[in-house]
Amino acid sequence: MKQQFLKYVANLRFAILNLLLIALFSILGTIIEQDQSIETYKVNYPLIHPVFGLISWKTILYFGLDHVYRTWWFISLILIFGTSLFTCTVLQQLPALKIARRCQFFRTSLQFKRLDVSTTIKNKSLNALLFNIKHQKYLIFQQKNIFYCYKGLIGKIAPIIVHFSMILILIGSIVSSLTAFKSQEIVPKTELFHIQNIVSNGPFAKIYRIPNRVNDFWVTYSKTNTVEQFYSDLSILNENGDEIFQKTIYVNSPAKYNGLTYYQSDWNLIGLRLKNNNLNITQYPLISLLKNKEKIWVSWIPSNKEQSSGVTVLTNNLQGYFSLYDKSGKFLENIELNDANFLNKEFIFVDLISSTGLQVKVDPGIPLIYIGFGFLMISTLLSYITYSQIWIIQNQNNLFIGGSTTRALFEFESEFFQLIK
């Protein structure tokens, strides 16, 4: 019963069925937003009109479809599929490789009828034929008047490497599901921060509590005044506040330290500093609005204590250019930083307070996944190497010769008839 169970687990149909289930739930996890709030699912998947008549927010939460890749049943499917691959490798692929390495001599001419191609030739030089075979990089083995030749044995290793690489990828995905976490932080320039706004995390994820600092943040613009790139200069500090790591990051150029990866994800303007005639600094918040897919920040600067009059300030960049409007929406003027404004020259805009959006990730499974895909690419190249075999029996003046191959039969037939030509 144990052998029958292992053979069933190693069966190709069982593995394909398991793989289809994994693919199905992976697609479901892609369609359904992952790691969102309950309110989000209640709005998008109501009970009154469930999606496809089945999927409502209660169904999603009950089966864990809001975090598919970390559920016990999805990880179980991956473990079963990995077990199937490992069992198939041990019970089928390794014995097949071991058999392929053996010298398989044919004793009778009747055995040639099962081969892909075979023929009988008379009055031919055996030495010339063996020389041609050797020239085609075959290994030749002899027992008296019987010869066995093969080449491309490394191509038989490709299926084993495929299974090994897929097992590595599966292990890496499980490690990622259990130990990875992702955080999204919005930090003002020059401020210290800790990793605390966790978006998603595995049950065994270790949250790093090291202090970080945003030293500087700036944006570069193209000639058409559109954002070209935005940069954050980051420092990682020790417990005493001393800098132990520093790097300037930008989009597609993250910082990596001790398993942590810092990505530049977004930016924002959060405040505006003004200086009056008494050299007092006042700070006002900036609110972001979206107009024609372009961000605009707006603030209200009162001119009296009752805040009944004042100006509306609009800006759409970090370069320090502002447009002023009165309370009725009438345009007043455009000014820059450190220029006196319209209000009787009483205020000067001295600074724009910006914040940077950082995504911090830890994913210990990524190296295993990358290594697995590396071996998968190697196995793809190895699979193009054809494993070919040739048998020869010398009987008086007759030579019985035949051969078989694992792929590229037409090329093998051409090579075979070129050898005996």
pLDDT in tens, 82-99: 999 888 888 888 888 887
The answer to whether 18 and 166 have CB atoms below 8 angstroms apart is no
- 43 has a pLDDT exceeding 80: yes
Q: How far is CA 224 from CA 220, 221, 228, 240, in A?
A: 12, 8, 10, 45
Residue with tokens 């071996």: 375
**pLDDT over 70, % of the chain:** 95
- The model's pTM is 0.72
Tell whether 67 and 134 lie within a shared domain.
no
End position of a domain, from candidates 57, 77, 95: 95
Looking at the domain assignment, is residue 239 inside a domain? yes
Tell whether 121 and 45 lie within a shared domain.
no
Tell whether 72 and 125 lie within a shared domain.
no
Burial classification of residue 373, based on how many CB atoms lie within 10 Å of its CB (0-12 exposed, 13-18 middle, 19 or more buried): middle
- 335 has a pLDDT exceeding 90: no
Give the long-range contacts of residues 41-46, CB within 8 A, separation 24 or more: 41/66
End position of a domain, from candidates 95, 116, 134: 95
pLDDT score, position 307: 66
The more confidently predicted of residues 148 and 277 is: 148
Tell whether 337 and 405 lie within a shared domain.
no
Question: Of the ranges 132-136, 293-297, 377-381, which one carries the lowest mean pLDDT score?
Answer: 293-297
Measure the CA–CA gap between 329 and 76, rounded to whole angstroms: 62
- 306 has a pLDDT exceeding 60: yes
Q: What is the pLDDT of residues 201-247, one digit of tens each?
A: 888 888 888 999 999 999 888 887 788 898 999 999 998 889 999 99
Looking at the domain assignment, is residue 350 inside a domain? yes
User: Strands, E, within 276-364: which ranges?
Assistant: 281-285, 287-291, 294-302, 310-315, 321-326, 331-336, 348-362
Tell whether 68 and 199 lie within a shared domain.
no
DSSP of 380-403: HHHTTS--EEEEEEEETTEEEEEE
pLDDT score, position 121: 84
Q: What is the pLDDT of residues 100-148, one digit of tens each?
A: 777 788 887 778 888 888 888 886 788 888 888 999 999 999 988 889 9
Q: Residue 199: which domain range?
A: 184-362
Looking at the domain assignment, is residue 241 inside a domain? yes
Average pLDDT of the chain to the nearest whole number: 86
**Top-ranked range on mean pLDDT: pick from 34-43, 54-63, 260-269:** 260-269
Tell whether 118 and 218 lie within a shared domain.
no
pLDDT score, position 340: 66
Looking at the domain assignment, is residue 229 inside a domain? yes
Tell whether 148 and 198 lie within a shared domain.
no
End position of a domain, from candidates 54, 76, 95: 95
Mean pLDDT calculated for residue range 407-420: 87
pLDDT score, position 292: 66
Tell whether 232 and 84 lie within a shared domain.
no
Looking at the domain assignment, is residue 381 inside a domain? no
φ, ψ for residue 98, nearest 5 deg: -65, -40
Looking at the domain assignment, is residue 234 inside a domain? yes
Give the long-range contacts of residues 74-80, CB within 8 A, separation 24 or more: 74/22, 74/25, 74/177, 75/174, 75/177, 75/178, 77/18, 77/21, 77/22, 77/25, 78/22, 78/170, 78/173, 78/174, 79/170, 79/174, 80/9, 80/18
- 342 has a pLDDT exceeding 60: no
Looking at the domain assignment, is residue 374 inside a domain? no
Mean pLDDT calculated for residue range 253-273: 91
Tell whether 189 and 271 lie within a shared domain.
yes
Tell whether 50 and 131 lie within a shared domain.
no
pLDDT score, position 23: 92
Tally the domains of the chain. 3
- 370 has a pLDDT exceeding 80: yes
**pLDDT over 90, % of the chain:** 29
φ, ψ for residue 370, nearest 5 deg: -65, -45
Tell whether 192 and 289 lie within a shared domain.
yes
> Residue 133 sits in a domain of what CATH number?
3.30.310
- 39 has a pLDDT exceeding 90: no
